[in-house]
Structure 1
Amino acid sequence: MSSPSPFSTPRWKYEVFLSFRGEDTRRGFTDHLYAALKRKGILTFRDDEELERGKSISPELLKAIEESRFAIVVFSRNYAFSTWCLDELAKIVRCMRETGLTVWPVFYDVDPSNVRKQTGTFGEAFSEHENRFTENIKKVEIWRDALREVTNLSGWHLQDRHESEFIQHIVEEMIEKLSSKSSSITKNFIGVESMVAKLIPSYLGFKNNVCMIGIYGMGGIGKTTLARVVYDKFHSRFEGSSFIANIREDSKKHGLHRLQQQLLADILEDKNIDIRNVYEGVDMIKKRICHRKVLLVIDDVNQLDQLEKLAGEQDWFGLGSWIIITTRDEHVLVQHGVLKRYKPELLNNDDASKLFCLKAFKMEQPKEGYVQLSHKVVEYSNGLPLALVTLGSFLVGRTTDEWKSALDGFKKTKGEIFDVLKISYDGLEEMWKEIFLDIACFFRGWKKDSVIQILENCGFDARIGISVLLEKSLLTINNYEALGMHDLLIEMGEKIIRLESGGKLGKQSRLWLVEDLLCVLENDMASEAIQAIALYQNENFKFEEFEEFLEVFSKMSNLRLLIIDGWRIPNALNFAPNNLKCLLYQGYFLKCLPSCFQPKELVHLNLCLSRCEYLWEGVKRLGKLKFIDLSFSKNLIRTPDFSEVPRLVQLKVVCCPNLVEIHPSIGQLSRLKWLELRDCQSLTNLPSMSVEMKSLMAIRLTSCSKISSLPKFTGIMKSLSELYMNWTAIEKLAPSSIKYLTALTLFDLSNCRNLEFLPCNMDNLRSLEKLIIFGCSRLKLLPSIPSTVRYINAQCCYSIKPSPALVKLSSSLQPYSQWFPYNESSGEVAFTILYLYLQGLLCRKTVNETSTKRKEDEGESITEFHIIIHGFEIPSWITHQSVGNSTSIELPSNWCNCKWMGFAICASVSTRKWKTIGVRARVIALGDTPQNNYVSKLLFGTMSCEDSIWLLYLSRDNWFATVGNGECSQIKVIFETDDSVPHVWECGVSLVYEQDVDEFSQTNAQCLIEKLRRN
């Protein structure tokens, strides 16, 4: 229910990735280096798991490398003995080439020449690897190349230096590099570079003092933007940092003790800090931070008390700390004794024109025909960044006549910023205006989808409305999908509401301040004009002040939205008007809703974090209720009777540990679409789901750890397309449990650790496209799967055996994820399944006529195959291999005889950040003359694993269907991806003949499979 300030997130998740040999340096040098980096606020990834030698490198670790700006590789005496470390190093080098990862080697107690030349202990290690990996010597060469490449980079050598000095030197250089890289964040803020240049010199003489500096000026001039740029650029130089935004607004809603809590949590990196009052917070800040060099930004201060409770004195902070304060009121800075004060200037004409044109024309200059008009708009904006952005967004795509009309409106406003900004508001349709006002008053910092759901339940077309507001720069959205709005626009919205009410609180359409609501109640001023109320907990008011005036609520006959956050008002809902559509009461503290609470128009009910044991007794008639959320209600024992809630669309009950009963009436709800019962760990079963549930689209029972069977379905579930049973106690699936799931497209059984068997016949799942059995470590066999399946994730299913069912699937899966733990034999797994598939083709050939005749008689035949397996080594049986994305093979004179079956084609593909990419394979036949050149049809695959082997089989029939009987002497294979980054590292091609398949018997295949399972 809180309204956090939205910030944009950096491109990288980590600033530094540490690679090291644990047994050499984990508890010594690397631990000290990690601590030093952390003290400077450098976000560093260090793997804390001491995994068994030989265990494959985890996906999380690979992902962390991809999400890091820098990698520091600590070479120590025994580094090369660890295949884990060498795999990690190979990945680092790959990211260095592919994503621009910067790598710095550190030579700790080892001679750099021994590492580079692989002599000494490094030579001993590689001798062991060559003996161990005799069948995969290419892997060893990759490791050798990675070592050579990294050791040729500039880095650090400890030699005879003191470790503490050595570490300090590394950290200082890292800070310099991070600062230079972060300079790119200013490129989207026109004019901010010059502001930073003027602001920062104020600090340079204060390295041994605590420096407070204030940034002040009118709203919209760029104070917060400037503070944010400085914070992003320099925070890594400090031992801790915090950016506390929207002080003026958030202190009213949540109290200063919450902001003190945020300050300490950020700087100390401790999310468990709990502050009960501001005096306790002051004492804790003084004691916990006084010896730390910190960077603290306190944004949008409007009262001296706020500064006194967050940064009361300089001696609260360690020497060298920077405290940056932004405010509209310079007098607050004077009162607090802030000597260094900076007032950002309005943008000069050139910068103002660039900023406006970027919004209006998506370039820095005006379009032809708009030059003079643009100059006039810039003139009226008077260099104020917010006005330039807002007006540019308002005018984008409009005709010159519309621009002239807008300019006429500017003249009438005489340059008042409120009136200039209101032009964009006045251009909105009435519904978009209502949405704007609701967001301005209630929903800043809320997730977009949650706001859309609430506003739609209030009767607004919110999805389109929010898009319109974003287009017009009246609203922003960050990388977390949280909505934001500039404080000037918030003030404009609030002012519009006050003007429309004629200055009478009881006539306002929205009430968002506790004191305003209390005034309305105490003075009996409520009217039908009030549409929405937000009552956030405020330490300056007590619930008793409301108790005797609650009857006044009944006069708010048009109240549609009521938000209550944390207030313990016993009778708060007794007088709620019948027309209430949305109730959001976080922390509701009674056992159930009062019996007199009968809002006939209620559509949306959210009682998260409540103390409810049950929602209501017996039956409650709520004929329009669509949404119920009881998540995190720890006392909840059972759900209510839904018999008189016929329009319920979504029920969300997440993390309710004492929930044991779902009322049977839920199985009769014909309009229910989404049923989410995640993390209800006492729940053992669900009631029967009947055919009446014709709208049900998704059931999520994730982490209901006592549920051991699927819900009982009594008839065909026509709409149920997604079923999530992951992390449950299911041991087996009976055929009867799935026979009615004919519309299911996604079935998630991941991490069902007790699951051993799937039904032998899954044909009833005739719409199934995705089957996720990731982490089902006891699952022994994958049965025949419907032909509709396009994706299976069987990663970490260590007990699954390759079978004909897998082979049958391979021609249709996209992608086909990991079947075995990653090891050096992954390519051989693909080889096994391919040859089992080819044996099946040969068996059919002896029974049927030729493939071409069979295709005519039976329609489409299964003559293509592809499989994707986690790994990066092309198997040795691919005869012609090349580095890069293309390879070719010279064809012998008799290559195309009657025993030739087709081509086996293979590629080693690496994706970035676990991104899904499309890969295409093109096979080209090259003849002696241009007339004899032919190109096969494109073959497609989709990769989502990070390192993958893609193995394809192009059949003889499909080849001839494309190239005819043309003669050719060479075959060339080219792999392409759907983005510009090179992903294909190696590829290869082989001719496949019947005798090859004959030699590879089923017995040999099983021997290989058993060998793989033992590995």
Structure 2
Amino acid sequence: MIRTYDVFVSFRGEDTRNNFTSFLFHDLSRNGIVAFKDDTHLHKGESIAPELLQAIEGSRLFVVVFSKNYASSTWCLRELAHICNCIQTSQRCVLPIFYDVDPSDVRKQSGCYEKAFVEHEERFREDKEKMEEVQTWRESLTRVANLSGWDIQNKPQYAEIEEIIQKIKNILGHKFSCLPKDNLVGMESRVETLSRILCLELANDVRVVGISGMGGIGKTTLAHSLYERISEQYNFCCFIDVSKIYQASGTIGVQKQLLSQCLKEKNLEIFNASEGTCLAWERLHHARALIVLDNVDQDRQLNMFTGNREALLRECLGGGSRIIIISRDKHILRKYGVDDVYQVQPLNHEDATQLFYKYAFKGNHIMSGYEELTYDILSHVQGHPLAIQVLGSSLFDRSISQWRSALVRFKENKSDNIIGFLRLGFDELDNLEKEIFLDIACFFNNEKEEHVMEILTFREFHPEYGLQVLVEKSLITIEDGDIRMHDLLIDLGRCIAREKSPKEPIKWSRLWDYQDLLKVMSDKMESVINHEVIAVEDFLMEFYETAIRADALSKMSKLKFLKLDFLNFCGNLDHLSNELGYLIWFEYPFKHLPPSFQPNNLIHLSLRKSNMKQVWKDKKPLPNLRHLDLAHSKNLIQIPDLGEAPNLRLLDLNGCKKLRQLHPSVGLLTKLTLLNLEKCKSLTKTPHFRENQILETLNLRGCRQLKEINTSIGLLQKLTFLDLNGCGNLISLPNSILCLSSLEYLNLSGCQKLFNIQFLHEARDEEQMKKLCIGESPICSHSTSSIMKRWFKSPLHLLHSRAHKGLVSCLLPSSPTLGCMRELHLNFCNLVQIPDAIGNLHLLESLCLRGNNFATLPSLKKLWKLYYLNLQDCRQLKYLPELPSRTDLSSERYQLPEYLDLLKYKEAGLNIYGCPELVELEHCTSMAFSWTRQILEVYHLFTAHYMAIPPISSIIRGSEIPSWFKNDHEGIGSLITVDESPLMQKDNNCIGLACCVVFGPPSGIMAPPKTESVHRFRAEIPLFLGEDQVTEDHLWLFYYALPQSLLTCWDADFKLEIEITNIGSWTFEVKKYGYCWLYEKHLEVSNLIMMGIQNL
């Protein structure tokens, strides 16, 4: 019998059709589960309609929704009886749901069900056959009501439906009638074939299957597609690229990644391969697991976690486990002893034709005149997906004559190796595009487009046009600003780069592999070497002990790009190529650059964490230098004369602890926009600046010995950011700062000796200042309101004052300036009363009143823009103030441009941590959660325009998860595991995730840190406790808005886990947690009651 439905739902329409079952059918459909929904016209006459009988018999699972009037319907009772007949003759499940009736009433036919059966028996008492049918109905009710199900009376329906859907999915397994669509040509039949080979229905054995095929044929894509559909059925899952990890981290790296993904742990330590093998046996013993090992290209990559015991994983894992090994080499698979091998075949003619049309004609139909050429091309590519994609893209929008020419060239270069097919796309490129292709293949895959463009421009490759050509020919893609190239095309490019002398890397123009570099540097070189680009970053750390001779670099006179990370060099470096445009050397080991080096062509010089004392001694011409980064060079005592670096834009000296002064030439750099001197702890003064400089950012944070700022700072008319935080010896600031008309951010926190602040009391005509931080400085003792009146003519973003005990209520006079205030931070100011005038700050967005001594607050109802309120450690607080209502928060007064500015880099919500005197706690919790939800609604109005929505959260004392969350989850360490089905189903109606965590003081020994998986998210409790510790349980509710881009890129190996972390050294334990996926319908007023939010 062919089953046509996944689920048959039996329900009384007049009771639940427009509420519960409507929601249930919607979520079944959204999860790809095909459910039969009867039409009212089928309920005619006395006999059950044949269509209903067929639907019941053709369904794999039954859901029965018992409501008050269910038993009064003979149709419903006949459906139920037929369902019971079906489950007697086949292994199918029935899931009862008790909507608004007590299960015992259904089971015993009491209450309203008793009344219905009295009527049935009265009606049929003269018909013996009908009376027997009535008895059958009673037996069916009793039988089904005795089964495990859901009593959803007085419970939030959404959470219950979510649990029901998950149960159905678990029962149905991977065989939905409507599998998720991948929108990949020819994929469905392949997934079905692989599923059969895996024998997914066998629950007791462990099966190992290999996937093999030529490069680019779709092996990984197929495995991913199946993995997405069945991974939720397993307790432990992982999908790893074995070869890639092995090359980067060796044996231990692969063991670590496999166990980390399966066990969902972070910081998992493995010190040797033998230990990793034992750990795999110990932790995965009898586990039901799905393990996919992709890109296995060496025998030892499989032996490394089996300890040379081929059957280890098979013997270790529990029944029902499946292992999929993907390799181009079938010999590796057979040697490992797989049960079967799925050889991925080329696309059949129909699918190949569809795929070719998609790229060559951008549609589903062929253009007139191209029929014969298309047939000829498809007969040669032989259904290879990547070859079709690349060739089709290269022929798009070309004439018939160009197609004929391409076909001739293709036939001439035909090779059994698929690289020969792919090379056609490369051979069609002009010389410059070929060079761009090779550079990306060898060095710049997954790099930012802007960065690659800059390098390729230096190489005189004119990349703006060339990159577009590569995109059009499907040789690269550019996604989210990153350049990406298929692995097979990378292989092609690297093959071409070394094809003239495959075993002599000394003759190549490009070097990217550590061992090739080691060979080149070890050879005795008598002549100049032709290398133009060397970039070696990823190598096995076990090779680090091997020292590389640095003198070989002296022979590379044509070198234009050099990037070296974490390499161990020995010897001397006497020369460097004067052709260098990019010199990026992490942990540069020498005390200076070679004196003979002439950096005329240098654009980017980055020697972070170097051993240098000085870069070079003499003045050097630097006409092209734009980026100079010497950060964390702890021995650097002076920087070079930069007088001949007219184009320098960035100078980063962060962490250069021994640097006492800057060369005066820094004050002459007219194009410098960023000067980072953070943590230059020995620096005593700033340079003398000039009027024509365009410096925008000056970071002096942590310059402890800095005593004065040169008065010339007032000449920097483009300066927007000035950070002096932690300049503990700074005793004065020049009044010339008043001339900084563009200054938006000024941080004077921690300037403990800064008493001369007359400039703050001078009037300003400018309107740019947005943020002033004066915490823990003597400025706090001055009249704050007078400072604000003089300095802030436009909306004030932040006044931060901390540790001052003398501020009084005159902080809030009636002033036009304060009426424009956007953020107000008055933390730890010993305030016992907040003036009512605070309720008139109508533009206020953020209000922080931490650590004060007031018991009540004035009404904040009119603060219609308020999105953040922090009352942490207000230990005398008894009552929460009135907060803006939902109507105000969603008011049309929100204008998009200003609201987008509001959303940037902000947090939102309510923090009421550490308020032990708070009364009416249940009411306060309801207010907090309701207000947080209202903010979410407003934020959601703008998600179509601005996706970087900040976290929204509330913290309040409590220990019980609200009922509308999907709860009953006990805390395990600091990790929350979430059902990611809305992401897997790519449901565009899903807008975010709401979580509620009960955290409190640790109850005992803390669980060891988990191993961080590649796709784990972190949620940081927004609490600043200093040296204090958590003393009682608190609720933390947080929302995350879901960017639609995340839905589109979500992949099968993404696991939605949330690790709860904190700020600082205080410790905590997650006691409980609950979560709930939010959909657009939940933000509608009509659905709020269903979620239970209004009645928290």
TM-score tier by shorter-chain length is: 0.5 to 0.7
Native 8 Å contact 1:215 1:325 kept in 2:
yes
Aligned residue identity for 2:440: I
1:707, 1:467 → 2: CA distance?
Answer: 51
Matched, 1:213 2:209: yes
Native 8 Å contact 1:796 1:821 kept in 2:
no
Aligned residue identity for 1:214: G
1:388, 1:510 → 2: CA distance?
Answer: 29
Q: Secondary structure at the match of 1:910?
A: helix
Matched, 1:233 2:233: no
1:708, 1:830 → 2: CA distance?
Answer: 43
Native 8 Å contact 2:796 2:821 kept in 1:
no
Native 8 Å contact 1:735 1:762 kept in 2:
no
Look up the match of 1:912. 940
Look up the match of 2:258. 263
Matched, 1:200 2:195: yes
The offset of 1:336, in angstroms, is: 1.9
Look up the match of 2:517. 517
Q: Which runs of 5+ in 1 are unaligned?
A: 1-105, 113-146, 158-166, 833-868, 881-905, 919-944, 948-979, 987-1015
Label 1:578 to 1:379 Cα distance change in 2 as closer, same or farther (>3 A).
Answer: same
Aligned residue identity for 1:668: G
TM-score by length of 1: 0.58
Q: 1:804 aligns with which of 797, 816, 825?
A: 816
Native 8 Å contact 1:454 1:604 kept in 2:
no
Look up the match of 2:220. 224
Identify the range of structure 1 (226-235 vs 590-599) with the bigger mean alpha-carbon deviation.
Answer: 590-599
Look up the match of 1:628. 628
Look up the match of 2:847. 820
The offset of 1:325, in angstroms, is: 2.1
Residue pairs, 1:722-741, within 5 angstroms: 722-723=720-721, 725=723, 736=735, 738-741=737-740
Label 1:539 to 1:821 Cα distance change in 2 as closer, same or farther (>3 A).
Answer: closer
2:686, 2:324 → 1: CA distance?
Answer: 58
Q: Secondary structure at the match of 1:714?
A: helix
Matched, 1:581 2:581: yes
Look up the match of 1:330. 330
Native 8 Å contact 2:294 2:327 kept in 1:
yes
Q: 2:160 aligns with which of 155, 159, 162?
A: 155
Aligned residue identity for 1:222: G
Native 8 Å contact 1:669 1:692 kept in 2:
no
Look up the match of 1:687. 686
2:890, 2:255 → 1: CA distance?
Answer: 64
TM-score by length of 2: 0.54
The offset of 1:724, in angstroms, is: 6.3
Label 1:695 to 1:187 Cα distance change in 2 as closer, same or farther (>3 A).
Answer: same
2:993, 2:727 → 1: CA distance?
Answer: 30
1:252, 1:383 → 2: CA distance?
Answer: 31
1:870, 1:559 → 2: CA distance?
Answer: 65
Native 8 Å contact 1:213 1:341 kept in 2:
yes
1:181, 1:764 → 2: CA distance?
Answer: 69
Label 1:235 to 1:223 Cα distance change in 2 as closer, same or farther (>3 A).
Answer: same
Look up the match of 2:396. 396
Label 1:409 to 1:537 Cα distance change in 2 as closer, same or farther (>3 A).
Answer: closer
The offset of 1:530, in angstroms, is: 1.7
Look up the match of 1:929. none
Look up the match of 1:303. 298
- After superposition, the C-alpha distances for 1:352-384 in whole angstroms (9 at most, x for unaligned) are 223233333443333555555444443333211
Label 1:570 to 1:227 Cα distance change in 2 as closer, same or farther (>3 A).
Answer: same
The offset of 1:456, in angstroms, is: 4.4
**Equivalent residue pairs, number:** 702
2:684, 2:942 → 1: CA distance?
Answer: 36
2:301, 2:233 → 1: CA distance?
Answer: 26
Label 1:385 to 1:879 Cα distance change in 2 as closer, same or farther (>3 A).
Answer: closer
Matched, 1:641 2:640: yes
The offset of 1:637, in angstroms, is: 5.9
Q: Which runs of 5+ in 2 are unaligned?
A: 1-96, 104-151, 803-810, 823-841, 850-856, 867-881, 894-933, 947-991, 995-1078, 1086-1096
Aligned residue identity for 1:155: E
1:385, 1:442 → 2: CA distance?
Answer: 25
Native 8 Å contact 2:589 2:612 kept in 1:
no
Aligned residue identity for 1:472: K
Look up the match of 2:441. 440
Native 8 Å contact 1:796 1:819 kept in 2:
no
Q: 1:874 aligns with which of 883, 887, 894?
A: 887
Q: Secondary structure at the match of 1:563?
A: strand
Q: Secondary structure at the match of 1:187?
A: coil
2:770, 2:598 → 1: CA distance?
Answer: 44
1:751, 1:181 → 2: CA distance?
Answer: 61
Native 8 Å contact 2:546 2:568 kept in 1:
no
Look up the match of 2:66. none
Native 8 Å contact 1:393 1:473 kept in 2:
yes
Look up the match of 2:536. 535
1:219, 1:427 → 2: CA distance?
Answer: 21
Native 8 Å contact 2:237 2:262 kept in 1:
yes
2:774, 2:170 → 1: CA distance?
Answer: 41
Q: What CA RMSD, in Å, does the superposition of the two structures yield over aligned residues? A: 5.5
Larger Rg, first or second structure (1 or 2): 2
Q: Secondary structure at the match of 1:616?
A: coil
Aligned residue identity for 2:156: T
Aligned residue identity for 2:886: E
Q: Secondary structure at the match of 1:388?
A: helix
Look up the match of 1:134. none
Native 8 Å contact 1:445 1:484 kept in 2:
yes
Look up the match of 1:18. none
Aligned residue identity for 1:828: K
1:685, 1:171 → 2: CA distance?
Answer: 64
Look up the match of 1:488. 488
Native 8 Å contact 2:656 2:680 kept in 1:
yes
2:531, 2:177 → 1: CA distance?
Answer: 47
Native 8 Å contact 2:690 2:715 kept in 1:
yes
- After superposition, the C-alpha distances for 1:889-920 in whole angstroms (9 at most, x for unaligned) are xxxxxxxxxxxxxxxxx9997232973749xx
The offset of 1:759, in angstroms, is: 4.2
- After superposition, the C-alpha distances for 1:585-620 in whole angstroms (9 at most, x for unaligned) are 234445655666665543322334x35364536556
1:825, 1:354 → 2: CA distance?
Answer: 65
The offset of 1:503, in angstroms, is: 7.1
Label 1:879 to 1:719 Cα distance change in 2 as closer, same or farther (>3 A).
Answer: closer
The offset of 1:501, in angstroms, is: 5.5
Matched, 1:189 2:223: no
Look up the match of 2:718. 720
2:844, 2:176 → 1: CA distance?
Answer: 37
The offset of 1:826, in angstroms, is: 4.7
Aligned residue identity for 2:470: L
Native 8 Å contact 2:426 2:434 kept in 1:
yes
Label 1:205 to 1:828 Cα distance change in 2 as closer, same or farther (>3 A).
Answer: closer
Look up the match of 2:669. 670
Native 8 Å contact 2:547 2:570 kept in 1:
no
1:816, 1:402 → 2: CA distance?
Answer: 64
1:750, 1:911 → 2: CA distance?
Answer: 33
The offset of 1:220, in angstroms, is: 0.7
Native 8 Å contact 1:772 1:793 kept in 2:
yes
1:737, 1:175 → 2: CA distance?
Answer: 70
The offset of 1:436, in angstroms, is: 1.7
2:892, 2:487 → 1: CA distance?
Answer: 66
Look up the match of 1:272. 267
Residue pairs, 1:19-98, within 5 angstroms: none
Aligned residue identity for 1:805: T
Native 8 Å contact 1:659 1:680 kept in 2:
no
Label 1:641 to 1:178 Cα distance change in 2 as closer, same or farther (>3 A).
Answer: farther
Q: Secondary structure at the match of 1:739?
A: helix
The offset of 1:557, in angstroms, is: 1.5
Aligned residue identity for 2:712: T
- After superposition, the C-alpha distances for 1:514-572 in whole angstroms (9 at most, x for unaligned) are 34334444444664432122334645985786655x54433322111223232211337
